[in-house]
Amino acid sequence: MTSLWTVGVEQELFLVDPETRRPVPLAQRVVEEAGDGFDVQRELTPFQIEVATPVCETPGELVEQIRAGREHLAKAARAAGCRLMAAAIPPLGKAGPPPETDDPRYRLMEHSHRKLLGGQGVCGCHVHVGVPDQETAIHISNAIRPWLPTLLALTVNSPVMDTEDTGYASWRAMIWSRWPVGGAPPHFESAAHYELLVKSLIDSEALLDKGMVYWDIRPSANHPTIEVRVADLPLTVREVAVFAELVRALAATAVADPPQDEPVDPVLLRAAAWRAARDGIDGLGVDVRTGALVPAHEQAAKLVAYTSDALREVGQLSTVEEHLEWLRVNGSAAARQRRALKDDSDPRALVDRLVDWTLE
């Protein structure tokens, strides 16, 4: 079955040394080894690499492209003398700062945002859903905004940083929230409202350009899409695919059944995002309409119920429901990282497990 809503996924992954298990700055070499068959790009630091799917219509096509991208990058990484790792923060060592980089954009960011760039070597997953125009993109942004903490809770995969358990399921989310334009966006009245606010942020030098709009959801600066950026890089191919299908279903539902509620209070939404980053799907979450603490799995079940028609239309409702049950039994990627570290206190063993899970 073909969906009216096309989707594409960008995955950011780490490159690690097979001996030390620490991040290694070999992105350029991996890009060269990868060749032209896949959309492979360098990221903010040379310790990271990105692979993007083509525009996909069916769920089967999407999951196959996600898997193929990871497999191709893993092969290129091995040829370059390193390994590919699906984690949002490296459990051992640091991904930065870039060694003697001459990249002019990075140097400009370093001048404008200074120490803020330290520790920004983190990996996320961005899902693009095709939209006909920017007004539709803004409408979808407003509708998805209350669900952003739940989407983060489902994808948490960064509990350990440089051998230390941070106490958070997504430490990446906490690091990324330091940017002037990070976290959930405001509720916009129109596309013109969005453009005016972004222009003001650029004029104020809080942003260098539209590429630095780091909100958890935004109209893409380069594609006719709405881009959801809230997630940690999920650990496995299946988790990436389920996250992407939920985003696609949210976009479709927003247009088919526009929400009638008042906009969620930004302070409460920020608190919900913090709680999602701390506990993930395994703990309690904040109901953004009431402020009450509820099991995060209940919020996820509400998300699936809300998008059930759109999921059913592309044959993914049972797949998503089964995955949520699997998460209930096995825990989030963050919980699985912690269990692996508990089983073997050597963080190098955790890195090895993450490298294996990347292609699972």
Beta strands of the chain (E only): which ranges?
A: 7-16, 39-42, 48-52, 83-85, 124-130, 160-161, 164-165, 182-183, 214-215, 217-219, 225-232, 284-286, 293-295
Using DSSP, state whether 101 is helix, strand or coil: coil
Q: What is the dihedral of CA 20, 26, 27, 30, to 10 degrees?
A: -100
DSSP state of 198: H
Check residue 319 and give its pLDDT. Answer: 97
pLDDT at 103: 65
Nearest to 249 by CA among 3, 80, 20, 12: 3
Cβ atoms < 10 Å from Cβ of 118: 13
What number is the average pLDDT over the span 235-256? 97
Measured from the Cβ of residue 238, the count of other Cβ atoms closer than 10 Å reads 17
Where does the pLDDT of residue 101 fall: very low under 50, low under 70, confident under 90, or very high at 90 and above? Answer: low
Largest pairwise CA distance in the chain: 55
273 burial (CB, 10 Å; 0-12 / 13-18 / 19+) is buried
Residue 12 reports pLDDT greater than 80: yes
Cα–Cα distance, 181 to 67 (Å, whole number): 32
pTM of the model: 0.94
C-alpha to C-alpha distances, 260 to 33, 80, 86, 280, nearest whole angstrom: 50, 52, 38, 28
DSSP count for the chain of H helices, then E strands: 14, 13
Confidence of residue 210 (pLDDT cuts 50, 70, 90): confident
Q: Which amino acid is at 217?
A: I
Residue 344 pLDDT > 90, yes or no?
no
- Residue 229: pLDDT above 90? yes
pLDDT per residue as tens digits for the range 115-162: 666 666 899 999 999 999 999 999 999 999 999 999 999 999 999 998
Give the mean model confidence (pLDDT) for residues 205-230: 89
**In whole angstroms, how far apart are CA 3 and each of 7, 56, 119, 229, 301?**
9, 9, 39, 22, 23
> For a pLDDT cut of 70, what percent of the chain falls above it?
93
Please, what is the average pLDDT of the chain?
A: 92
pLDDT in tens, 54-81: 999 999 999 999 999 999 999 999 999 9
Cα atoms in the 13 Å half-sphere on the side-chain side of 312? 6
**pLDDT above 60: residue 203:** yes
Q: Smallest Cα–Cα separation from 9: which of 264, 340, 246?
A: 246
| Mean per-residue pLDDT, 294-315 | 97
Q: pLDDT at position 4, please?
A: 77
Residues of the chain with pLDDT > 90: what percent? 78
Query: What's the whole-number mean pLDDT along residues 174-182?
Result: 86
112 confidence band (pLDDT: 50, 70, 90): low
> Rounded to whole angstroms, how far apart are CA atoms 223 and 212?
15
Q: Are 97 and 118 in contact (CB under 8 A)?
A: yes
